[in-house]
Amino acid sequence: MITKSLKFILPIVLVFCILLAACSQETPVRLLNAQGFDGVEIAEIVINNSDYDLPPPLEIAENSQTTPPAVTTATTTERPVSTSETTPAATVPAVTTAATTAPLPSTFAATPSETTAPPVTTTPPTTSTVATTTLPTPTTTRNTPLNHSNVRGVWISYIELQSSFSGRTAESFRAAFAEKMENCKSLGINTVYVHLRAFGDAYYESEIFPWAKPITGNIGQAPGFDPLKIMLEEAHARGISFHGWLNPMRLPGDSDMSKISTDLPLGKWYNGGAENKKGTFIVKSGDNWFLNPAYPEVRKLITDGAAEILRNYNIDGLHIDDYFYPPNTAESFDRAAFSASDVGLSGGHANLSDFRLENCTKMVKSLYEVTKAANPALLFGISPQGNIENCYALYADVRKWASQVGYCDYIAPQLYYGFNNATQPFDKCLEQWENLVKNSGVKLIPGLAIYKIGLEDAWAGDSGRTEWLNYDDILKRQMDLAVQAQNYGGVIFFSYNYLFAPGFNTPAINTQLTKAGVR
């Protein structure tokens, strides 16, 4: 009997051991036609599967013809987002309380027709304050920020930074980042947007957040040098403006959260016994944890983290992208906080959707204000989804932020569409964003999809599917059109690897860069 059991068990154990050994190696993970990692399609990413929690891909259906399905909680129904051109501009995905039913977004569903520009709101923004976040005396001499009126920028994500840390020394990192800056200078790039916090971590010396895992391979482990200090020196030496790119709400998964020291706020909230805040300040969605901006303490942590960077480093601005609430946010994510809020009172929130919109707006405004408190000449910008309706699926009130004074200096919508896109043609999208900013003074700096050049676009519908394959002047036409926009402030390319890295940069990309006068 034992012998038979061993014959059955041993092969299973052997297979398990082989799989375990394979997972301990650095394995290429190829993500094609999947929206992910900072809202864009990623070609290839090498990660260590055994110890790095990465976010799930975000699939954005540019051509969806359907509205988000409703989550039934009671007997009545709140009107869902309409896909008609006559939908009021202020419509957002609604989540209601008891006695109503409201649709929670199940996808980033695109509105089929968005050719009518939404009205511009000119009402003064709600007054808020960041009095709880103090700005101590700077520990570094504050220089005049280096910013350009006509931006030619590029995003450098945490994925693209990772290779620069391979040598594990200050000297090797400096050499690698200096090469990146020389490459940027060769294309006339004058502004870089570099990840400083991707998953509740820090690519700089911080007393608030743990050291980022890609630097040493272990979250919270000090590298023995300060990457941000080096990056600033190398960028500024070449006249390149440096903006710190933050993901304010996104955190890592359990394996890394469990390793964060309880001396830090995130460690206390995850591991801290009586100070544990799981399910309130931090909430799990999918494989990752997220900060919950419904709580003032959480918004203060986010703002304090920004203030720390502004206090200690001569960066030229702060930058956030399209990650706010997680995709398909469950009602349970912040139901308790909503129930305890001022719902039903004069000026209160009519539903959970309004509550979430207001939480993100408070967070954005506090980041803007803390930036200006450090130095009015510093810039704060936002790079949301290019499809305006998709922004509201993440509870990002971009209509307010772009059309009113006091939320951002520039907006950089990710206009990752060709001219023949079935539902989001580039020229129509650009016009919508231009109409939002024209009365606010907010600069419009479109994000352009270098990564789509020479590839089939599965999200563009039949009319746009092969556009990036068939035309070699899309980038030139986009840049020529963008410069004519009211409040134009430049363009940003996604991303560094597609401009310079072998395996990402292609002859098709270089042809378009040449025609556009970039290369």
- Does residue 25 have a pLDDT over 50? no
Q: Which residues contact 218 (CB under 8 A, 6 or more apart)?
A: 259
- Does residue 40 have a pLDDT over 60? no
Dist. CA 119–CA 98, nearest whole Å: 32
pLDDT of residue 167: 86
Dist. CA 45–CA 29, nearest whole Å: 6
pLDDT of residue 260: 98
pLDDT band per the 50, 70, 90 thresholds, residue 350: confident
pLDDT band per the 50, 70, 90 thresholds, residue 403: very high
The arithmetic mean of pLDDT across residues 436-460, rounded, is 97
**3-state DSSP assignment of residue 471:** coil
118-127, 205-214, 366-375: the lowest-pLDDT one: 118-127
pLDDT of residue 272: 81
Q: How far is CA 423 from the centre of its chain?
A: 23
Question: For domain 150-515, which architecture applies?
Answer: Alpha-Beta Barrel (3.20)
The arithmetic mean of pLDDT across residues 132-161, rounded, is 79
Out of 28-42, 46-60, 338-352, 467-481, the most confident range is: 467-481
Main-chain phi, psi angles of 318, to 5 degrees: -120, 150
Query: Which pTM value belongs to this model?
Result: 0.77
Checking DSSP bridges between strand 40-41 and strand 45-48, what pairing results, if any? unpaired
Residue 312: enclosing H or E segment and its boundaries? helix 296-312
Dist. CA 221–CA 326, nearest whole Å: 27
- Does residue 34 have a pLDDT over 50? no
Q: Is the C-alpha dihedral spanning 127, 358, 266, 37 positive or negative?
A: negative
- The CA-atom distances, in angstroms, between 426 and each of 387, 448, 455 are 10, 10, 17
pLDDT of residue 141: 59
Is the CB of residue 507 less than 8 Å from the CB of residue 462?
A: no
Biggest CA–CA distance in the chain, Å, is: 82
Radius of gyration of the chain (CA): 23
pLDDT band per the 50, 70, 90 thresholds, residue 379: very high
pLDDT of residue 385: 97
pLDDT of residue 61: 45
- The CA-atom distances, in angstroms, between 463 and each of 348, 369, 418, 459, 468 are 45, 43, 10, 10, 11
The arithmetic mean of pLDDT across residues 275-303, rounded, is 97
Residue 395: enclosing H or E segment and its boundaries? none
Out of 43-52, 131-140, 288-297, the most confident range is: 288-297
pLDDT of residue 342: 72
pLDDT of residue 143: 78
- Does residue 116 have a pLDDT over 80? no
pLDDT band per the 50, 70, 90 thresholds, residue 97: very low
| Amino acid letter for position 337 | A
The arithmetic mean of pLDDT across residues 18-46, rounded, is 34
Residue found under tokens 């050994």: 21
Dist. CA 244–CA 211, nearest whole Å: 15
- Does residue 175 have a pLDDT over 90? yes
- The CA-atom distances, in angstroms, between 393 and each of 273, 290, 325, 383, 390 are 34, 16, 8, 15, 5
* Terminal alpha carbon distance of the chain: 73
Residues 239-266 pLDDT 10s: 999 999 999 999 999 999 999 999 999 9
pLDDT band per the 50, 70, 90 thresholds, residue 273: confident
Residues 153-172 pLDDT 10s: 999 999 999 999 998 899 99
Dist. CA 475–CA 471, nearest whole Å: 10
Dist. CA 181–CA 191, nearest whole Å: 10
39-43, 260-264, 356-360, 455-459: the lowest-pLDDT one: 39-43
Average pLDDT, the chain: 79
Dist. CA 462–CA 322, nearest whole Å: 27
Q: Which segments of 314-463 are extended strands (E)?
A: 317-320, 379-382, 410-411, 443-444, 447-449
The arithmetic mean of pLDDT across residues 67-77, rounded, is 29
- Does residue 52 have a pLDDT over 70? no
User: Which is more confident, 10 or 190?
Assistant: 190
The arithmetic mean of pLDDT across residues 369-381, rounded, is 98
User: Which is more confident, 242 or 342?
Assistant: 242
* β-sheet bridge partners, residue 27: 47
Q: Which of 263, 244, 262, 266 is nearest to 253 (CA)?
A: 266
pLDDT of residue 224: 97
- Does residue 114 have a pLDDT over 80? no
Dist. CA 10–CA 4, nearest whole Å: 10
Structure tokens at 287: 């494989």
Q: Which of 200, 249, 234 is nearest to 220 (CA)?
A: 200
pLDDT of residue 90: 37
| Amino acid letter for position 469 | L
Can you give the three-state secondary structure of 101-116, one letter per residue? CEECCCCCCCCCCCCC
Is the CB of residue 190 less than 8 Å from the CB of residue 153?
A: yes
Query: What percentage of the chain has pLDDT greater than the value 90?
Result: 69
- The CA-atom distances, in angstroms, between 162 and each of 126, 173, 480 are 40, 10, 34
Is the CB of residue 338 less than 8 Å from the CB of residue 95?
A: no
Dist. CA 19–CA 28, nearest whole Å: 15
- Does residue 68 have a pLDDT over 80? no
User: Which is more confident, 510 or 2?
Assistant: 510
Dist. CA 201–CA 397, nearest whole Å: 26
The neighbour count for residue 325, using CB atoms within 10 Å, is 23
- Does residue 138 have a pLDDT over 90? no
Is the CB of residue 282 less than 8 Å from the CB of residue 288?
A: no
Residues 308-338 pLDDT 10s: 999 999 999 999 999 999 999 999 999 999 9
pLDDT of residue 109: 29
Structure tokens at 26: 């650095």
pLDDT of residue 368: 98
pLDDT of residue 274: 85
